[in-house]
Amino acid sequence: MCGIVGFVGNKKAAPVLLEGLQRLEYRGYDSAGIAVIKNGSIEIKKTIERISALKEATDNGQTVDGEIGIGHTRWATHGAPCKRNAHPHMGFKSRFAVVHNGIIENYIELKDELVALGVNFKSETDTEVVAHLMELYYEGDVFNALAKTISRLKGSYSLGIICREHPETLYAVRHFSPLIVGVGVGNNYIASDVTALVSHTKNVLYLEDGEIAVITANKVDLFTADGEKKEREPSFVSWSIDAAEKGGYDHFMMKEIKEQPDVIAKTFEPRIKDGKVFFEGLNLTDEKLKSINKIIITACGSAYHTGVVAKYVFEELLRIPTEVDLASEFRYRNPIVDEHTLVIIISQSGETADTLAALREAKNRGAHILSIVNVVGSSIAKASDDVIYTWAGPEIAVATTKAYSAQLIVLYLFGLYAAERLGSASSDTITAILSEIKQLPEKVKKLFEMEESIKKIAKKHHRMGSVFFIGRNIDYGVAMEGSLKLKEISYINSEAYAAGELKHGTISLIEEGRMVIALSAYDSLQDKMMSNIKEVKSRGAFVLATATEGNKAIEKEADQVLYLPKTHPLLLASVEVIPLQMLSYYIALYNGCDIDKPRNLAKSVTVE
């Protein structure tokens, strides 16, 4: 969603800000801007085009002088995407410039109050109230004005603020919206995520909720809003800048698809020792685990889809009832959750607003919260009782691929870990699944050999009007992900259906030439899938099926078959999703879509 960058140091700020904003483009945005202080005044540049337009207009930032500034990519929530609403916003005395992520929930009330005092608003944003409140409360001390301003705000926000009367200091605040300080030598930075900083410094301070950072070129001080000083050493980011660049691929999405064998290996290798799964530092004791009588998995989008797969895995291995719920629904019902419930939260970004709210709801009801997160120091990671990181590295393409795969691995490992402790699966079963997990990187690599044939299918069928993905059991879970992947990047309407459910209504939509992708790799249900394929074929559908290697029977029914390497049935999703990711990629490519940044989508959905 929106992105923040900020810089103060001994070189020109604008080039640093523009580079940082470009690295945040993947989060999705509709406008952008920077503000830089030079000779006691604030210069603002905005665009409703791409950051590259701002770069062109300023000769890569070189025509904007000044060594301190803030920048922002906006994803409209309050007010249309246009220059007027793009950040940074200035206070009514042009003394302060502000960038903001999150939502000021009481902005209407604050706006009314400011308007009554004669303040003239230039935008429709909630953010502008912050800039004006800063002006209102300023009596020569920025920190005091900031402390008073934030005491008036309700909602979630991270802020970057500069003041033309204090051109040596950058101010930052975090309140339920991520913000990081990058600590350099003679140059310091702020950003809403590490990717914007990592080319400059790997030493970062993850701000905590309620903290204010006061940053000059040579110093970073952290305070509570009451002015109490806080001491904390920076953390070291192990990602290299290559991880945030395309490395020869045309799109991040394909690069990330191809990183999956490595990501899978990195996620399981450190967690398997002496034939057993091991997680460092879990607070979930064996005693607590034994007291669990229900598991609820809650997440959004693709992360939710990994939960759908995990339900099959957990119920098989643990024999504990497992519910999967969309985080946006979970938070608005009256869920049955108590201290005997284990709530598993899944999120790549660790910042998804609905998922975070579901976490808080479950925590208030006494559940033990285990989260599976990719971003270290994220809000979800911080709010959980236990965190298992996916270590997928930065995922830049808006459509997730490698984070989905890493989430599956953590879920399998957790299932095996808990099964061993609970004695709910035999050691032979656990050993057999672990041995299959170790083979997944090679199997995924082998699937890349299919790329050329998938490309041909995509070329031939990329104009498909709409598509059905059907499957049973884990194949159904993968169908949901395949369908989402296709629609989000190619804008082709698609729907995932439990194959047995088709005839209860949806089959009326099957007609001559309709594409049906029949996921049929869950071998024990293949006969049932064959019947479903016959049903749609007899109504004119074109059927592209998946099946495990060696299963030739399916060729009699399907028009085309994608063969998958055999694996343990519970791990099926890890191989089956790969050709579907590649298929979506090529269909989007042939349709000329903006693959890494699909329209209307944001990488990190930090609003409801």
Q: Which is nearer to ligand F6R, 58 or 347 (CB)?
A: 347
* Least spacing, CB of residue 453 vs ligand F6R, in Å: 24
Give min distance, CB of 597 to ligand F6R, in A: 12
Interaction mask 379-418, ligand F6R, x per CB under 6 A: --------------------xx------------------
Q: What is the x/- site pattern for ligand F6R, positions 217-246, by CB under 6 A?
A: ------------------------------
Strand stretches in 361-464, DSSP E = 368-373, 386-389
CA quadruple 441, 447, 449, 455: dihedral positive or negative?
Answer: negative
79 contacts 103 by C-beta, under 8 angstroms: no
Q: Which of 111, 311, 597, 603 is catalytic?
A: 603
Q: What is the DSSP string of 535-591?
A: HHHTTT-EEEEEEETT--GGGGT-SEEEEE----GGGHHHHHHHHHHHHHHHHHHHT
Between 347 and 546, CB nearer to ligand F6R:
347
How many residues does the structure list for the chain? 608
**What is the Rg, in whole angstroms, of the alpha carbon atoms belonging to the chain?**
25
Pairing of strands 203-206, 212-215: unpaired
- Least Å distance between CB 577 and ligand F6R? 11
Closest approach, Cβ 349 to ligand F6R, in A, equals: 3
Q: From the list 386, 475, 488, 596, which residue makes contact with ligand F6R (rule: CB under 6 A)?
A: 488
355 with 298: CB under 8 angstroms?
Answer: yes
Retrieve residue 353's tokens: 């607003």
**Cβ–Cβ < 8 Å for 212, 225:** yes
Cβ atoms 601, 28 nearer than 8 A:
yes
- 129 phi and psi angles, rounded to 5 deg: -60, -35
Number of residues that bind ligand F6R (CB under 6 A): 15
Is 372 a binding residue for ligand F6R by CB under 6 A? The answer is no
Residue 605 binds ligand F6R, judged by CB under 6 A:
yes
Nearest to 383 by CA among 393, 392, 373: 373
Q: Does 150 bind ligand F6R (CB under 6 A)?
A: no
| 593 part of the active site | no
CA–CA dist 559, 583 (Å, integer): 16
CA distance 19 to 117: 39
Q: Does 490 bind ligand F6R (CB under 6 A)?
A: no
Q: Could you say which DSSP state residue 426 is in?
A: -
347 binds ligand F6R (CB under 6 A): yes
Q: Which distant-in-sequence residues (6+ apart) come within 8 Å of 449 by Cβ?
A: none
- Taking CB under 6 A as the criterion, the residue among 341, 355, 490, 584 binding ligand F6R is 355
Per CB under 6 A, does 302 bind ligand F6R? yes
* Residue 348 in contact with ligand F6R, rule: CB under 6 A: yes
State yes or no: residue 301 binds ligand F6R (CB under 6 A): yes
Q: Which region, judged by CB under 6 A, interacts with ligand F6R, from 2-10, 103-111, 156-164, 346-354?
A: 346-354
* Nearest CB to ligand F6R, comparing residues 125 and 604: 604
Asked if 603 is an active-site residue, the reply is: yes
How many angstroms separate the CA atoms of 344 and 324, rounded?
9
Q: Contact 558/459 with Cβ under 8 angstroms?
A: no
Q: Which stretch binds ligand F6R (CB under 6 A): 63-71, 168-176, 348-356, 469-477?
A: 348-356
Which residue has the CB atom at the shortest distance from ligand F6R? 301
| Candidate list 169, 328, 349, 490; residue touching ligand F6R; CB under 6 A | 349
Q: Pick the closest to residue 347 from 374, 386, 325 (CA basis).
A: 374
Closest residue by Cα to residue 326 from 290, 354, 347? 354
- Which of the ranges 161-169, 177-185, 252-260, 301-309 carries the binding residues for ligand F6R, by CB under 6 A? 301-309
Closer residue to ligand F6R, CB minimum distance, 217 or 383: 383
Among 119, 181, 303, 479, binds ligand F6R (CB under 6 A): 303
Please give the structure tokens belonging to residue 446: 């082998």
| The only residue of 177, 298, 352, 379 in contact with ligand F6R, by rule CB under 6 A | 352
Positions in the binding site for ligand F6R (CB under 6 A) = 300-303, 347-349, 352, 355, 399-400, 484, 488, 604-605
Residue positions annotated with a catalytic role: 2, 603
